[in-house]
Structure 1
Amino acid sequence: MSPVCGLTRALLGILLLLQPVLGIPAADVLPRAAASVCNGWAEYCSRSYSSVTFVGSHDSAFVGDLPQQNQNLDVTAQLNMGIRFLQAQTHHSLFDDNVLELCHTSCLLEDAGTLKSFLGTVKAFLDANANEVVTLLLTNGDSVSITEFGSTFSSSGIDSYAFAPSSSPLSIGDWPTIGDLISSGKRLVVFLDYGADTSKVNYILDEFAYYFETPYDVTDSSFSGCSIDRPSGASASGRMYIVNHFLDVDILGVKVPDRDAAATTNAATGKGSIGAQAAVCEALYNRAPNVVLADFVDKGNVIEAQNELNGF
């Protein structure tokens, strides 16, 4: 071994020993050299986050065959198939008010486990896939304090990946590229529908300061509309937007996910497809959707639809 190599190894060893004391970030979140492939495509590396269309998993954690469940694949499998936008509902645990659970409307109806466990699953994917950017959109059904969310993110260890913008809200034109997020090590973008406060937790962003949404609980299989539903009275100007492209069926006054229609709903093209509704939206707003949320992402052709919306 040359003297230079020996000295280099010695210095690296000292840095590793001192890492906890000096607060040096772990290797998995250190700034990296520019990636040549980002989220599976070289083209994403130079494209701003706000110019990418993601097909996202609606109620990503509610997996199974019951009427209230929205997905067939678990979260790891969704990520492995190419989903990079995960939406999930949160509520306080019925048994411990200090714990946040992933529950569908009520934890009595559907409880998919703790938010901390969910975040751990996403972190494991980020740990193993250094050139991927993932977005989380969480709902705050019990108006939980933002500091509780911050504590849960911190205890899971995923906060080290979280992107905090230089100003909040960040202008739609000022988002970094996917490549920039990867090279910075900040490969997780987090939004919360209600209760975000970046003065207290700077990486959990206010969804409706950044996005508007189209109507949800849609039972029209043609998906012929793309109006602004939330926030009420919002302008499309300056906001990204989310298309709620998941079909419900009304059973005795209760709307449940239409599992049987998923292959058609999630098709890339054709009547009622992802591509067809995205075209309606693009005609209204002169730009493609930023997010298209879907149930049963393993059905149809959601990744093909995502690629086509991004020009691939």
Structure 2
Amino acid sequence: MLAVSGTDTLVQRASQSSAYMSSPSMSTRAATCNGHSEYCTRSYSNITFIGSHDSAFVGPLPQQNQNIDIEAQLDMGIRYLQVQTHRSVIDENVIELCHTSCLLEDAGPLKEYLETIKNWLDANPNEVVTLLLTNGDSVPITEFGDTFSSSGISNYAYVPSENPLSITDWPTLGDMISSGKRLVVFLDYGADTTKVNFIQDEFAYYFETAYGVTDASFPNCSIDRPSGAAATGRMGIVNHFLDVDVLGIKIPARHEADNTNAATGPGSIGAQAALCAGLYGYAPNVVLADFVDKGDVITAQKNLNGL
């Protein structure tokens, strides 16, 4: 049982078994994993990650969700990156990182984004990183596979021993690092592991709470997607980023980021995580945030992992 700092709520990280809570491995060699020795003997599914929502859309404009680039996000401790993909409007053979539409916000080709992450993984051998991609234009999975392969990052990609992998059967971070397979990849729609075995179907593994929230108190942790899903046997993604409605258009609430991304207090990461834990019996596996350099997201991550 883990206590969420600043609340009276106990968060049960794993109720299935003691092995799921912490499963030491004889093959673990890294002294630290994702910056902490405690993570080396924890299964991937028994860790809470603060994730960067729309991680590639960096800048001061209303449609941009982050202040610092991908390398800086990784350097500060973010290990879960979410990003939207679409077909390029210039070359339909290229998968581009675009916010809703490539005419609104275009952060460049997916291949370049993956190359940046690969270079960071090359330089940081004791780190496990996760990518969650959206597939707004229903691009065939083989095109994603080709892009990953051409970037060179697919050599790092973890392939589950079965699909879908049970929530209790994920390897420890130490095992993933020892094996060299320390990139986990999910796609929201269109995954097919019979064609590309290292890109997993997000909703075979996760549920998500609602996005587009405009209530700064984040009073809800109901399952929004997949429709009709139960939490049992799934990891949980909490969309903890605040929007404001401007003439019917929702844009990121940049001015509220320090409060939204606080570790504790009303409307904080810790407060919504405690709400979710009360409903489902365990802390969220992922909390997605905008403007990850604001507030105190790394302290929130440590709190939720009992560090």
Is 1:260 equivalent to 2:255 in the alignment?
yes
Which residue of 121, 134, 139 corresponds with 1:144?
139
> Relative contact order (C-alpha < 8 Å, sep 6+): which is higher?
2
Question: Equivalent residue for 1:35?
Answer: 30
Gaps of 5+ in 2: 1-26
Aligned equivalents of 2:245, 2:156: Cα separation in 1? 40
Aligned equivalents of 1:92, 1:255: Cα separation in 2? 23
SS in 1 for 2:272: helix
Letter in 2 for 1:225: N
Letter in 2 for 1:233: G
Aligned equivalents of 2:160, 2:29: Cα separation in 1? 20
Aligned equivalents of 1:135, 1:33: Cα separation in 2? 20
TM-score with structure 1 setting the length: 0.90
Which residue of 89, 100, 105 corresponds with 2:84?
89
Gaps of 5+ in 1: 1-31
TM-score with structure 2 setting the length: 0.91
CA-atom RMSD in angstroms = 0.7
Question: Equivalent residue for 1:228?
Answer: 223
Shift of 1:224: 1.0
Is 1:172 equivalent to 2:154 in the alignment?
no
- How many residues are paired up? 281
Q: If you compute each CA radius of gyration, which structure gives the higher value, 1 or 2?
A: 1
Change (3 A) 1:33 1:234: closer
Letter in 2 for 1:114: P
Question: Equivalent residue for 1:107?
Answer: 102
Question: Equivalent residue for 2:17?
Answer: none
Q: 1:126-165 counterparts in 2 under 5 A? A: 126-165=121-160
Deviations 1:216-273 (A, max 9, x none): 0000100011000000000111000100000000001100000000000000000000
Question: Equivalent residue for 1:280?
Answer: 275
Question: Equivalent residue for 1:12?
Answer: none
Deviations 1:189-231 (A, max 9, x none): 0000000000000000000000000000000100011000000
Letter in 2 for 1:281: C
Shift of 1:33: 6.3
Deviations 1:72-98 (A, max 9, x none): 000000000000000000000001111
Shift of 1:34: 1.1
Question: Equivalent residue for 1:217?
Answer: 212
SS in 2 for 1:172: coil
Is 1:243 equivalent to 2:238 in the alignment?
yes
Is 1:308 equivalent to 2:303 in the alignment?
yes
Deviations 1:88-138 (A, max 9, x none): 000000011110000000000000000000000100110000000000000
